[in-house]
Structure 1
Amino acid sequence: MRGSEWVPGVQAAASYEARWLPKDVMAGLVLTTLLVPQGMAYAELAGLPAITGLYTSILCLVAYAIFGPSKVLVLGPDSALGPMIAAVVVPIVLADGDPGKAVALASVLALLVGLFMTVAAVAKLGFVADLLSHPTQLGYINGLAVTIFIGQLPKLFGFSVEGEGLFADVKGFVTGLGDTVPAALAIGGGGLAVILVLQRFLPKVPGILVAVVGAIGAVTLLSLDDVDVVGPLPQGFPPFTIPIVTLGELGMLAAAAVGITLVSVTDTISTASTFAARAGQEVRGNQEMAGIGAANLAAGLFQGFPVSTSGSRTAVAAASGAKTQVTGLVGAVAITLMLVLVPGLLKDMPQPMLAAVVIAASIGLLDIPGMVRLWKQRRIEFALATAAFFGVAVLGVLPGIAVAVALSVLNVFRRAWWPYRTVLAKPAGVDGYHDVAQYPDGAHIGGLVIFRFDAPLIFANARTFREEIRRLAQAGPKWIVIAAEPITDVDTTAADMLEELDEELNAKGISLVFAELKHPVKEKIDRYELTRTIDPAHFYPSLDDAVAAYGQRERDSA
């Protein structure tokens, strides 16, 4: 990749058309109405001061506009990352007794995520997004949605609870219901209802803005002193800050950063693919990682925390007519002007309203139809999704992502370990040889068995292959023909197995024959010198050729 291609913003600026500016500006202003309340709410979800959400939004939007390849993708604080950040930041802060340290920890976390993203982009490691399969990602996100929802309920009701984990949060909420502040519940519950109703029936109306303005107005006009509010925000642009942490804390943060990076990459590639397909564009996975990396590095140096792509904010920008990343720059400028000129604008923002914003986001994350679809389509993948869900619910957010990755990898290994295998037969009126499970009445040729093994032949499944062949050999065939087209590889462990198996079959008067073996795999067979035992003549380009050769052999021996 040429140096200039690592900075797509320069190329975009050079080709920018003046006619796009009005749409980008309008979309940016609309986007700002979503960026401000969500940024503040997700900051508090992460265990940080609300102002850091605004600092983070400003810097990540600017950085991605310069280094990000997508024209409409919008970055920012994310509801899925909030609990992951809180899981590592909050315990350290509580143990240290210094609330101000939370910002430094979160900023280092952002720097580490940015570093990992950048290294991955340079090394072209975009494939890491594949470590989370869709079922495990679905289960993880659903678990995260439930965790966020339950965790925010006390704040919505006007009280707080102590405890770690989903079950502790449920217990704390139930036992704390007697401390409910009616005014707080009215503000938070009413705001949540407004957001959900408008999203459902009037999606073009900015539901969050309407709810926030209404909540601030209610607190101010009704003098609801028993409702907690955000309070005055610091004035001015976020200061450049180099965060300092101890070496022990750095190790904990690095482990968390790996999980956040994986989730962020997966979410970004998925969201980018969706919107690129709509626009007829291609996704540049490695450049996307570079853009996300730059956004996190910028946020980390200005008292921010890790960010990711937001599907909801991107959808708002696209629906509002956004043409380029100028939309994000307009949003960044608007937030900066608010902090410089009117920092007191949001001082009466009720904390229950921020909880309502987060709960609405968690409801948006929840995908029950997706789980139902997995149950109907493939039970094993439903089980994987369920296991990932409970991994988050029982073990916690960060261990949950480790469980999700492990389940995805184990599922791949399971498919290689126990691949589909079958005997083939020739159905009447159908060309070729097909699975006997599909055509149980298919014709078989006396003394010949055609066996298909639908996986690379490797150490994990070599024993499975051998046992299947031994089972087929019990019927006493003369030839066992391997329909080898699905076998894309043979490793050394499998090669040793084949050599021993062929000698075992030869002792019983049975020949092991291969048909449709791919040329690269045949080259490996030759390199392993397997033709010392397997007859070199027993490799055929097609099943028809193998069957014809067997028929000729039988006629010659008659």
Structure 2
Amino acid sequence: MKIRLFPTLRNYKKEYLLRDIFTGIIIAAVSIPIAMGYAEVSGLPAVYGLYGSVFPILLFAMLSTSPQFILGVDAAPAAIVGGALATLGIPAGSSQALQYVPMIALFAGLWLLLFYFLKAGKMVNFISTPVMGGFISGIALTIILMQIPKILGSGSGSGELLELLGDIGRACGNINWISVLLGSGALILIRLAKKFAPRFPMAIVMMAVGVAAAVLFHVNEYGVVLLSAVEPGMPGLFIPDIGSVDLTHAAGRGLMVAVVIMAETLLSENNFAFKNGYKVDDNREILACAAGNLAAAAVGCCPVNGSISRTSMSEQYGGKTQAVSLAAGVTMAAVLVSATGFIRFLPVPVLAAIVISALMNVVEAGLAKRLFKVSRKEFYIFIAACMGVLCLGTIYGVIIGIMLSFVAVIIKATNPPRSFLGMIPGRDGLYDLKKNHYAHAVENTVIYRFSESLFFANINIFQDDIENSIKEDTKCVIVDAGSVNSMDITAADHIEMLSESLKERGIRFYLTEHSSRINEEMRKLGIGHLIEEGMVRRTVLSALHDAGIEKPFPLENMENKEYERVWQLRAEEENSLEEFAWAFGDDTVGQVEKRVHHIMDHIQNMPDVERLAEEGVERKMPYWHNLGAIDEDEILRRIELHLDELPQNLSEQENRKRVLQLIEKRRRRIVEELQRENPEVLKKLKKSREKLDRRLEKQNPEAARRLHEWEDRIKGV
């Protein structure tokens, strides 16, 4: 498979260059404090956030099809990894953490690579917005709570909600007020700038102010914690010590990180793509994320993710292509080579404030408000996913959210939209009887619409609705199953039992309006006999005709029975062998022949033939009748093809000739009636006869040859 590199730089416009470079420098400057903060959250020294902001970004830019999305050390993966370390009792910044964290990044990259080969991009469609929003919000709140002790002058918090609150409580007992002043002041100024001057890079200014406070006022002498010094230079190649890492745990956490990276990145990328009028290749983006994480593992960094905050900032500053990422990566490399000296002067509370501010934008408060207004169920799913992460950790938070999503789907499926339908005089169509005052039910008929697939969890509702709607005078039940896309074996068994129960009470039962795929499922599930018995019809109107209810349809509670006709469709258009083909699929020809033989089995003498010629074949058709002219013509033609199979007294030469003449007389009458009443259908009939003869000659060439010989004799040729 050929993979083109730098797809977003194809046909690059020169006028973009200066703006992209400027935006890339801004992104790199903003990423310095944020990436360092998230590296600490993941359990690594802060400098690893800078290491993860060079090669991973460059590789992502090389492969991504999104012109504006930016990769980086980000909140969700950092929190998952930090939580994993806390669960395993591995101290942050320890030698064991330095081995464990990049191994998670390595496995995350390998999982993403597997997802790429499996073309798993569409998996994100199974993660609902409330689950993802609650999950990300829970992670963001967890990290914010972890940062609060740093602002108070203590070390980072760890664990879940109760442990984090305990850490904050202990930090409150030993507050460093200068640290609080630096951290809270930086946070307030950043948030004000975010509101009133969103393009202004206040985080960079606060970082500079913090460095100045350390250099000029020596705040570290008053108990304010500073970051550790960093040696200049590019990162070396990470060589894992396999013996010091539990590979099972690393692979498991790597899988969870990979799913989160894929989901968050693809959802966010598609959101930006939709908003700005371009498309991204989901599968190619998975490959780009895989490459970025493998690069992060190679330099010993934590997993990296698509960054919404950096992408939004790039959009604000006018970045147009992945040249922004290239400029950001090169800038970060320059900082590592020649400008790391300032890092040892950066106060930890200022860095914590920058991280908290960034995470406040990640908390989906707006989504929570929207869900509360429009869907309380989805709001509770959001809260459950969020609180699950906060109280139980990231793994259980995801499990709880996904389980609640499935519960919500099942609840929705078990209480689907459904209604009883009637007609409004003078109008076509069917209308909900409860919502339309002028709609009336068809006399002695229940028409029921069920708007969900039928399965074990809702079939009892379906059955109870129908049973409860039946009155003493009910003669027909018709189900509009247009929204039924599938059924399981439980539903099939219940439908069979319902049909039998109604049949015993003299009530006709029909399933209508669904796709032909449902008919295939019914055959596989063992209730195909309902189709053969005519209980499955293509439309409600077809079922009404089959039940003998003709237009104008009699409606209940109508004071004046002389009302306008409804549904001015001709039976010719509605009842046809096209419906037969819809019902029986590949077995259509076999089923038609079966009915032809049924008719022939009931022809014992010449009076039977004469009645057939006079009345037509409709009354002799088992179950499937109400044929249109074209359909009856085909049945008659097929009977002619089987003249040799008539009883012996009718197979004699003179009688056979008479039988053929009577059938042809009926076919001529069909033509005459159409010529008089419906010339358009007559044109279709002539074309249909030509196609039918060609088809019959292929299906049974010997019988067709004999039939033509008999026709020639009748004509005297």
Same fold (TM over 0.5): yes
Q: Provide the residue aligned with 1:165 in structure 2.
A: 160
Residues 7, 68 of structure 1: 8 Å contact kept? no
Q: Provide the residue aligned with 1:73 in structure 2.
A: 69
* Among 277, 290, 309, the residue aligned to 2:287: 290
> What one-letter code is carried by the residue in structure 2 that aligns with 1:69?
T
Sort the Cα spacing of 1:246 and 1:411 in 2 relative to 1 into closer, same or farther, 3 A: farther
Provide, for residues 450-498 of structure 1, a one-character-per-residue CA deviation record: whole Å limited to 9, x for no partner.
1122122234433443333333347662222110110112333432332
Distance 1:428 1:39 in 2: 69
Kindly indicate whether residue 111 of structure 2 is the aligned counterpart of residue 116 of structure 1. yes
Residues 233, 343 of structure 1: 8 Å contact kept? yes
Matches within 5 A, 1:319-338: 319-338=316-335
Residues 99, 245 of structure 2: 8 Å contact kept? no
> What one-letter code is carried by the residue in structure 2 that aligns with 1:124?
K
> What one-letter code is carried by the residue in structure 1 that aligns with 2:337?
V
Residues 426, 444 of structure 1: 8 Å contact kept? yes
Matches within 5 A, 1:300-319: 300-319=297-316
Residues 199, 317 of structure 2: 8 Å contact kept? no
Sort the Cα spacing of 1:51 and 1:73 in 2 relative to 1 into closer, same or farther, 3 A: same
Residues 142, 390 of structure 2: 8 Å contact kept? yes
Residues 47, 90 of structure 1: 8 Å contact kept? no
Secondary structure of the residue that 1:489 maps to in structure 2? coil
Normalising by structure 2, report the TM-score: 0.72
Q: Provide the residue aligned with 1:452 in structure 2.
A: 449
Kindly indicate whether residue 98 of structure 2 is the aligned counterpart of residue 103 of structure 1. yes
Residues 259, 401 of structure 1: 8 Å contact kept? no
Distance 1:143 1:527 in 2: 46
Distance 2:56 2:425 in 1: 64
Question: How many Å apart are 1:534 and its aligned residue?
Answer: 5.2
Provide, for residues 56-76 of structure 1, a one-character-per-residue CA deviation record: whole Å limited to 9, x for no partner.
111210110122111111011
Sort the Cα spacing of 1:259 and 1:425 in 2 relative to 1 into closer, same or farther, 3 A: farther
Aligned sequence identity (%): 27
Provide, for residues 260-313 of structure 1, a one-character-per-residue CA deviation record: whole Å limited to 9, x for no partner.
222222211222112212332112111111111111111111111111111110
Residues 45, 93 of structure 2: 8 Å contact kept? no
Question: How many Å apart are 1:212 and its aligned residue?
Answer: 0.9
Q: Provide the residue aligned with 2:346 in structure 1.
A: 349
Q: Provide the residue aligned with 2:184 in structure 1.
A: 189
Question: How many Å apart are 1:321 and its aligned residue?
Answer: 2.5
Distance 1:495 1:8 in 2: 53
Secondary structure of the residue that 1:530 maps to in structure 2? coil
Residues 153, 173 of structure 1: 8 Å contact kept? yes
> What one-letter code is carried by the residue in structure 1 that aligns with 2:24?
G
* Among 128, 135, 140, the residue aligned to 1:140: 135
Provide, for residues 105-130 of structure 1, a one-character-per-residue CA deviation record: whole Å limited to 9, x for no partner.
11111111111111111111112212
Question: How many Å apart are 1:437 and its aligned residue?
Answer: 4.1
Q: Which stretch shifts more, 235-244 or 439-448?
A: 439-448
Residues 229, 348 of structure 1: 8 Å contact kept? yes
Question: How many Å apart are 1:178 and its aligned residue?
Answer: 2.6
* Among 190, 202, 225, the residue aligned to 1:207: 202
Sort the Cα spacing of 1:430 and 1:89 in 2 relative to 1 into closer, same or farther, 3 A: farther
Q: Provide the residue aligned with 2:508 in structure 1.
A: 511
* Among 421, 424, 441, the residue aligned to 1:424: 421
Sort the Cα spacing of 1:194 and 1:522 in 2 relative to 1 into closer, same or farther, 3 A: same
Q: Provide the residue aligned with 1:155 in structure 2.
A: 150
Kindly indicate whether residue 248 of structure 2 is the aligned counterpart of residue 251 of structure 1. yes
Distance 1:438 1:376 in 2: 25
Question: How many Å apart are 1:400 and its aligned residue?
Answer: 0.8
Q: Which stretch shifts more, 319-328 or 300-309?
A: 319-328
Secondary structure of the residue that 1:81 maps to in structure 2? helix
Residues 392, 401 of structure 1: 8 Å contact kept? yes
> What one-letter code is carried by the residue in structure 2 that aligns with 1:187?
L
> What one-letter code is carried by the residue in structure 1 that aligns with 2:287?
A
Kindly indicate whether residue 128 of structure 2 is the aligned counterpart of residue 130 of structure 1. no
Distance 2:46 2:367 in 1: 33
Sort the Cα spacing of 1:530 and 1:455 in 2 relative to 1 into closer, same or farther, 3 A: same
Question: How many Å apart are 1:232 and its aligned residue?
Answer: 1.2
Distance 2:225 2:20 in 1: 36
Distance 1:151 1:221 in 2: 29
Q: How many residues align?
A: 551
Residues 151, 166 of structure 1: 8 Å contact kept? no
Residues 153, 176 of structure 2: 8 Å contact kept? yes
Sort the Cα spacing of 1:333 and 1:163 in 2 relative to 1 into closer, same or farther, 3 A: closer
* Among 39, 43, 49, the residue aligned to 1:43: 39
Q: Provide the residue aligned with 2:175 in structure 1.
A: 180
> What one-letter code is carried by the residue in structure 1 that aligns with 2:138?
G
Distance 2:343 2:155 in 1: 22
Distance 2:32 2:415 in 1: 51
* Among 392, 406, 411, the residue aligned to 1:395: 392
Distance 2:387 2:435 in 1: 37
> What one-letter code is carried by the residue in structure 2 that aligns with 1:107?
P
* Among 492, 497, 500, the residue aligned to 1:500: 497
Secondary structure of the residue that 1:372 maps to in structure 2? helix
Secondary structure of the residue that 1:150 maps to in structure 2? helix
Question: How many Å apart are 1:231 and its aligned residue?
Answer: 2.2
Unmatched tracts of structure 1, length 5 or more: none
Distance 1:63 1:331 in 2: 12
Sort the Cα spacing of 1:429 and 1:190 in 2 relative to 1 into closer, same or farther, 3 A: farther
Secondary structure of the residue that 2:225 maps to in structure 1? coil
Distance 2:417 2:214 in 1: 64
Provide, for residues 342-380 of structure 1, a one-character-per-residue CA deviation record: whole Å limited to 9, x for no partner.
221221111111110121122112233322221221222
Q: Provide the residue aligned with 1:23 in structure 2.
A: 19
Q: Provide the residue aligned with 2:521 in structure 1.
A: 524
Question: How many Å apart are 1:24 and its aligned residue?
Answer: 1.9
> What one-letter code is carried by the residue in structure 1 that aligns with 2:441?
H
Sort the Cα spacing of 1:277 and 1:249 in 2 relative to 1 into closer, same or farther, 3 A: same
Normalising by structure 1, report the TM-score: 0.92
> What one-letter code is carried by the residue in structure 2 that aligns with 1:176?
A
Question: How many Å apart are 1:186 and its aligned residue?
Answer: 1.1
Question: How many Å apart are 1:535 and its aligned residue?
Answer: 5.4
Work out which structure has the larger RCO, using CA pairs closer than 8 Å and 6 or more positions apart in sequence: 1
Distance 2:472 2:241 in 1: 72
> What one-letter code is carried by the residue in structure 2 that aligns with 1:72?
Q
Q: Provide the residue aligned with 2:638 in structure 1.
A: none
Q: Provide the residue aligned with 1:409 in structure 2.
A: 406
Question: How many Å apart are 1:93 and its aligned residue?
Answer: 5.3
Q: Which stretch shifts more, 207-216 or 258-267?
A: 258-267
Distance 1:8 1:236 in 2: 28
Kindly indicate whether residue 109 of structure 2 is the aligned counterpart of residue 89 of structure 1. no
Distance 1:466 1:246 in 2: 61
Unmatched tracts of structure 2, length 5 or more: 555-618, 620-717
> What one-letter code is carried by the residue in structure 2 that aligns with 1:206?
P
Distance 2:432 2:315 in 1: 48
Sort the Cα spacing of 1:402 and 1:527 in 2 relative to 1 into closer, same or farther, 3 A: closer
Q: Which stretch shifts more, 48-57 or 123-132?
A: 123-132
RMSD: 2.5
Distance 1:54 1:476 in 2: 80
Question: How many Å apart are 1:152 and its aligned residue?
Answer: 1.3
Sort the Cα spacing of 1:440 and 1:301 in 2 relative to 1 into closer, same or farther, 3 A: farther
Secondary structure of the residue that 1:179 maps to in structure 2? coil
Sort the Cα spacing of 1:313 and 1:253 in 2 relative to 1 into closer, same or farther, 3 A: same
Provide, for residues 298-332 of structure 1, a one-character-per-residue CA deviation record: whole Å limited to 9, x for no partner.
11111111111111101111222222212111111
Secondary structure of the residue that 2:356 maps to in structure 1? helix
Distance 2:45 2:473 in 1: 76
> What one-letter code is carried by the residue in structure 2 that aligns with 1:152?
Q
Distance 2:331 2:267 in 1: 28
Q: Which stretch shifts more, 117-126 or 499-508?
A: 499-508
